[in-house]
Amino acid sequence: SGGHRVPRSAVQLLAPVGDPEKVICVGLNYRDHCVEQDVKVPKEPIIFSKFPSAIIGPFDDIVHPEDSTEVDWEVELAAVMGKKGRHIQEASAMEHVVGFMVANDVSARDWQKRNGRQWLLSKTFDTFCPLGPALVTKEAVTDVHNLRISCSVNGRVMQDSSTEQLIFRLPSLIAWVSRFVTLVPG
């Protein structure tokens, strides 16, 4: 109705999902990003995770860790599970999704190159996963593989792409990951 509006400056938007059991991420899953990074397109999904302590609201400050000199960012599509499942078939994978939101995959690139080149520590510093500002239900999304995604840093557009660029589409990713772990709501 507009009768109970609060100025944006008077509120702090929290992440739409606050304390999930798992945050499962897919690395190098956009064709244009692979070209930009001059790396081969992966044959299988590259899976990593972020801890819930990395999650912050969409406009919260990302804390630059003292241990890193190379903090970087990537805009991502986040799918939120609404139904528990293990060994989910690709054909029914979207039945397990409740909706989508914007995620920012913040990374300490110097740590990504250290520590045996494993990604976990570089990707999951506290505050390294801003989410939101909203969770959009899957019914409101006509085609999840045709969404524009962009990232601005201090008002300057740093990334501008589309989910058309996804190498592994969402149903196949859900089926792939659920081979190894149970996916749960949130």
pLDDT score recorded for residue 155: 84
Mean pLDDT of 49-67: 95
Reply yes or no on whether the pLDDT at 169 is more than 70.
yes
The mean of the pLDDT values for the chain is 94
Find the DSSP H helices in the chain. Answer: 31-37, 109-113, 120-123, 170-178
The mean pLDDT of 140-145, rounded to a whole number, is 97
pTM: 0.91
Distance CA 124, CA 55 (A): 9
Report pLDDT for 1. 61
pLDDT recorded at residue 152: 84
Instruction: Give per-residue burial for 140-176: e unless 16+ CB within 10 Å, then b.
Output: ebeebeebebebeeeeeeebebebeebbbebbebbbb
Q: What is the pLDDT of residue 116?
A: 84
Q: What is the pLDDT of residue 117?
A: 84
Q: What does the pLDDT look like over 69-110, one tens digit per residue? A: 999 999 999 999 999 999 999 999 999 999 999 999 999 999
pLDDT at 153 over 70: yes
Residue 161, pLDDT above cutoff 80: yes
2-11, 67-76, 148-157, 166-175, range with greatest mean pLDDT:
166-175
Does domain 18-179 sit in CATH 3.90.850.10?
yes
**Domain parsing of the chain, residue ranges:** 18-179
What is the C-alpha to C-alpha distance for residues 39 and 22, in angstroms, rounded to an integer?
27
Averaged pLDDT for residues 157-175: 95
pLDDT at 135 over 80: yes
Residue (of 34, 73, 8, 23) closest to 166 by Cα position: 34
